[in-house]
């Protein structure tokens, strides 16, 4: 039976959690006290891009307004992000986060153009894009590793990812204001495609990932050791190597 161990929080993910917590506090003050809708300005939307607010492709992760989303994303950064950062190294992990930010934004805008309506004007915001992408990436790398669903129920990584994707899809299709879910699905799609492409040598050379470490390293063959095992009882027979 596998034991669930708390991983060491790595440097980049520590900064992410601090930045997310700070942005959540600032946005809460702006919204509730100053009555300034920061998410509408910093968040990514088709309407904003058409108005020339191109910076939204970079700033939307900084608009964290939901407490549950911030806590849940922080847990995923700690448990999953730390593992990915150790696997790839800091530089490759930062590149992964930057690509997640940009390409998820592009996919979300493309979906907004196709769907129109509320999705086109609703701002996608928060670091849920990071947590959604790394959740899928982690599940592809370690499909049989166990998660603790809601910290209670052990579940394999691939099933955990399916549950999150299903919840986001349901929210995006069947609930009003589900535009945020389409952004998370965009991030999940990127996380899956990135890991699949990173297994091909041409993509590794293109992205400069030549030092990308494989998640499935072959264990080095153990060297055989010979030792004499002494028996307590004296025996007239020959001694044997064990």
Residue 67 scores a pLDDT above 80: yes
Residue, of 237 and 191, whose pLDDT is higher: 191
Architecture of domain 11-207: Up-down Bundle (1.20)
Confidence band (pLDDT; 50, 70, 90) for 148? Answer: low
156: β partners:
146
Confidence band (pLDDT; 50, 70, 90) for 169? Answer: confident
Instruction: State mean pLDDT over 134-140.
Output: 87
Separation CA 208–CA 69 (nearest Å): 33
Q: What is the pLDDT of residue 50?
A: 92
Q: CA-CA distances (angstroms) from residue 238 to 9, 49, 161, 225, 229?
A: 56, 86, 60, 20, 13
Our CA dihedral for 170, 172, 174, 176, rounded to 10 degrees, sits at 140
181 close to 172: Cβ distance less than 8 angstroms: yes
Q: Left if phi > 0, otherwise alpha if psi is -120 to 50, otherwise beta: which for 63?
A: beta
Residue 189: phi and psi, rounded to 5, are -60, -40
Confidence band (pLDDT; 50, 70, 90) for 214? Answer: very low
pTM: 0.74
Lowest-pLDDT choice from 47-51, 142-146, 216-220: 216-220
155 close to 162: Cβ distance less than 8 angstroms: no
Q: What is the pLDDT of residue 150?
A: 58
């Amino acid at each position: 039976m596998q034991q669930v161990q708390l991983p060491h929080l790595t440097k980049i993910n520590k900064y992410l959690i601090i930045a997310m917590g700070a942005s959540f506090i600032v946005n809460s003050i702006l919204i509730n006290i100053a009555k300034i809708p920061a998410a509408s300005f910093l968040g990514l939307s088709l309407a904003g891009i058409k108005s020339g607010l191109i910076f939204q492709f970079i700033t939307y992760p900084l608009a964290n307004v939901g407490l549950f989303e911030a806590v849940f994303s922080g847990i995923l950064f700690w448990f999953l992000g730390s593992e990915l950062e150790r696997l790839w190294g800091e530089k490759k992990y930062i590149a992964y986060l930057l690509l997640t930010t940009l390409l998820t934004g592009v996919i979300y805008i493309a979906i907004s153009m196709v769907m129109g309506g509320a999705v086109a004007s609703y701002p996608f915001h928060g670091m849920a894009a990071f947590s959604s992408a790394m959740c899928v990436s982690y599940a592809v790398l370690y499909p049989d590793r166990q998660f603790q669903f809601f910290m209670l129920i052990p579940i394999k990584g691939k099933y955990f990812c399916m549950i999150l994707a299903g919840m986001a899809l349901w929210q995006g299709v069947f609930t009003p204001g589900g535009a945020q879910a389409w952004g998370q699905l965009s991030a999940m799609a990127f996380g899956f495609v990135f890991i699949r492409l990173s297994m091909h040598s041409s993509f590794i050379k293109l992205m400069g990932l030549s030092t990308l470490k494989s998640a499935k390293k072959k264990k080095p063959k153990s060297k055989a050791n010979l030792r004499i095992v002494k028996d307590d009882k004296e025996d007239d027979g020959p001694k044997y190597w064990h």
